[in-house]
Structure 1
Amino acid sequence: MKDAEILDLYWGREEQAIYETQKTYGNYCYSIAWNILYSKEDSDECVNDTWLRAWNAIPPRRPGRLALFLGTITRNLSLDRWKERHAMKRGKGEMEIALDELAECVPAAHDTQAEVEAAELERLVNDFLRGLPERECNIFLRRYWYVEEYSDIARRYDMKLNTVKTSLFRTRAKLRDYLEKEGVLI
């Protein structure tokens, strides 16, 4: 079923929307949750919570890209769950490693002013990503959006592990330089 048809089901408040969303985007959302949580139960719960959030958000909101809308909800729910779980114990560790890598080039929000500036930072990062070659952008997103392991990225793009690590290192350096040039204090 096409996105427009699924959105029409949501708009009409038809429960079939949830079934069609699960059928079309279930694996996609599950993979996002899994790459963050590495727990079947937590991933399943985040995906189910995604459907509930989508149901509550549509209407009044009609997303332009349903996959991106659902993926963002799943990612945010998974990150929240990871933070809760991480406070109790360390998971597989990929999330912490990925966040540490990004900390080198993206400033942390420690106060209210930084939270207000987060929207501007988001815009700058999106502009930076749009300026990257497609493959470089995809590798960066696979690591820092989908939280995929280096080895999975290497297999996906038929690259050597060290090539992936080097590519990410260079992209982070470019991002740091770009943000500093735009006046963001790192």
Structure 2
Amino acid sequence: MGRTMGEEAENLEDGQIIELYWSRDQRAIRETEGKYGKLLHGIAWNLLRSREDSEECVNDTYLRAWEAIPPARPGALRIWLGQITRNLSLDRWKSRRAEKRGGGAELLLGELADCLPAPAGRGRAVEDLELAETLNAFLRGLSREGRAMFLRRYWYGESVAEVAAALGCGEGKVKSSLFRSRRALRDYLEKEGIAV
């Protein structure tokens, strides 16, 4: 959404946006979209490859934020919103994958299939939390460039070409780095006692 003449051209700080949510000021949505809309659309598009589905997931993200704040007070608004969009997009992808197979999330999940444990039943929330902590420790151990490549590819869903362009390197370098990182992740998880 564009801003009117009387509005500031600069984005508000995250704390100011959160205060708008807390005061139930509908400008919170506009400010969120202005500051993070492009990022959220990118996340959804990279997973879904559908403009309509991406738009719906981003709009649902704004709705979820409106419903959650208050009582929630996210410490890192950008990450919190990105996680909502990513989860909504993955849910949408799962519901649509029976209709159409191919790129997007299926390709990303296929690349990580040999590195991550298969979903389990009960007690999964605790296992997911432990896995998340282990993944964070693994990522902290990667070089800054390796971590950026891994996150851009597997969290933000960027293509290898997009990762290479963003980091100013060749696609071959990205592919080999991701291959080494996936292999290292598998070894790391096994060393930590997580069955892959």
- Normalising by structure 1, we get a TM-score of 0.95
User: Partner of 2:83 in structure 1?
Assistant: 72
The ranges of structure 1 where at least 4 consecutive aligned residues each deviate by more than 6 angstroms after the TM superposition are none
Structure-2 separation of matches of 1:109 and 1:135: 29
Structure number having the greater helix percentage: 1
Q: Which amino acid aligns with 1:40?
A: R
Q: Which amino acid aligns with 2:184?
A: K
**Alignment gaps of 5+ in structure 2:** 1-11
1:44 to 55, 58, 64: 55
For residues 55-109 of structure 1, give each alpha carbon's deviation from its aligned partner in whole angstroms, at most 9, with x where no partner exists: 0111101000100010000000011111111121124x13212111111111111
For residues 21-80 of structure 1, give each alpha carbon's deviation from its aligned partner in whole angstroms, at most 9, with x where no partner exists: 111111111111111111111111111000000001111010001000100000000111
User: Partner of 2:44 in structure 1?
Assistant: 33
Structure-1 separation of matches of 2:123 and 2:82: 28
Residue correspondences, number: 185
Kindly state the Cα deviation for residue 113 of structure 1 after the two structures are TM-superposed. 3.9
Confirm or deny that 1:119 pairs with 2:104. no
User: Partner of 1:4 in structure 2?
Assistant: 15
RMSD of the alignment, in Å?
Answer: 1.2
Kindly state the Cα deviation for residue 160 of structure 1 after the two structures are TM-superposed. 1.9
Structure-2 separation of matches of 1:17 and 1:53: 12
- Normalising by structure 2, we get a TM-score of 0.90
User: Partner of 2:115 in structure 1?
Assistant: 105
Matches within 5 A, 1:148-159: 148-159=158-169
Kindly state the Cα deviation for residue 150 of structure 1 after the two structures are TM-superposed. 1.1
- Tell me, yes or no, if the aligned pair for 1:109 and 1:115 is still in contact at 8 Å: no
User: Partner of 1:171 in structure 2?
Assistant: 181
